[in-house]
Structure 1
Amino acid sequence: MQFPSFPSTLLLALALHSGVNAAASSDDKAKTPEPCTVASSTGAFYDLRPLSVLPLEPGKKVAKGEKINDWHARGYDYHDNKANFTLNICAPLIEKKEDFEGVNKKLWQNVSAQYTFGSKIYSIGQESSNLTLRGRRLVLQYTNGSPCGGSDKKRSTWDDDEEDGKKPTATRRKSTIISFHCDKDPLATQAVATFVGTDPDECSYSFEVLSRAACITAEPAKQSVGPGAVFGIIAIIAILVYFLGGIVYQRNVAHARGWRQLPNYSMWAGIGSFIKDIFIIATSSCARFMPSRRGYSALNINGGSNGRGRNGRNEDENRLIDQLDEEWDD
């Protein structure tokens, strides 16, 4: 019996890694989708995050075509066209948010849709990023806005009662429903928000948004690590399997001891000897370029034409050694 070679071990590690990835992928599908995205049971995927207007980071330059303001929709026949709407998608309003009618001050920063009528500002929903597919319609709903009842509604609300320590009284509140539609026009550059209408109690407001972001897209692959990290993990697993498995085999089956427990010991030993020989050759080549000691260059190693041979060389060597000893003594 022979221990499998390194390539075979690598293939085994790849197969194991693929099985782990497949199991992880099935677990990812069961997880909650990212905010402002939704996937249908048939595989259709919608991502409305490009419609979210986020605050501009300090020092960052505005990119060409980047939207930095909230979305606006004209009220038209609503209150004789004197009430215009401002909304954001899956994010709070960017514009200044304050003094909303009947809304707790703590919630002002979370308002995602509002309209102004006269000197009063009405919230028509708090931030939400939970997209819903109703049939073939993509819908986003905001709730918990200002109290219902039109522009004459007083400020006493559930939240104010809570602050005063009184028993809260349930109050119907304004809400918003936004329906998104796919814009297939290739020349369209930005989304268009349109006010559709409201109910007689002025509690529920409907909008439509036409945008290319509302078209079906492919769900992006979820990968927690990059390709380089994945390859590194596979390589480490393969090396560990190769060496640990080989040591177990060589020790228990081949009864090897010491360094011979390593798998393919003869191959690794040959590589070590080759590296050692290369190192010796390299150091020997470098030693020739080093300056020699004073006095040795005058020696006649081969005897030269003086014919003294070995005896002459010995005399020269003895004379040089005596000379060096005298210099060191001084």
Structure 2
Amino acid sequence: MEVYHLFQVYSRRPFLVWTLVVQLVLCGSVVFAADGINSCKLLYDSKSEWTVLNRLAPLTNKNFTVVSVDKEESYKYIFQLCGDAGGVQGAGLIQVDSKGTETKTTVIGQYNATEAFGAGDWVMLIYRNGDPYNVHCSKEKRKAFVMISCNRKVDMGQLEVLQEEREREQDCFYLFKIDSSAVCPDPSSKLSPGSILLIIGVCLLAVYLIGGFLYQRLIVGAKGMEQFPNYAFWVEFGNLTADGCDFVCRSGNREGSPAYRAVAPESLEEEPEERDDHLLPM
């Protein structure tokens, strides 16, 4: 009866049907991605490495392919995150050598021997236990290093071959690179030092204003503008600031020049007549 009732409800409201379908698809994709990550087997099982590996969940269930041409050799490389690269069982990264009608597939690394570590905007993925070298590197097993770097412009970039080191006696490797936004840090989760200092300054200012206002009002009993903490100091500080600005920003003497100074009213009064009778000849 409950199933029939639900059927009647959803049949009358098509919007609910589509909402349910979208939720099922999203849940299925999340579970599918988690299963892909869990297919990897870490060499050294640790919580930190699983945390790094989970950052790469959007890259699961996809083959990344690149063709490398080196002198007279041409190889095709196929990489898959925690999955069978090119359909080869257990292989995380393979090399395909096609010459005429013959095709030779070499396993470079397996995802059941995985290592993962990284920092803010990059992850290094290592696949070990590949096929042994025939002549090089003391016939040790191959291994692959895959560098996944942050690039917010692409969801899944192209696989690139950076280097193949096989001239050593041991510890030879293949180095690859992929750009992806999956490993980019969340910009909202990180604050710059300037933002942190600004937040601290605003908090201290708020504590000063609120605490000072409450003290002046409740303890001192101040009213009006005197409730502002250290009101007398800030008024005097404002006046001093204005005087300093006036002194620095204004040039010259503010008083009028002596050449253009107004004549005092007293100077306009008639001066007593100067007698010069003593200069006349007797």
TM-score if structure 1 supplies the norm length? Answer: 0.36
Q: Which has the larger share of strand? A: 2
More helix by share: 2
Structure scoring higher RCO (CA < 8 A, sep ≥ 6) equals 1
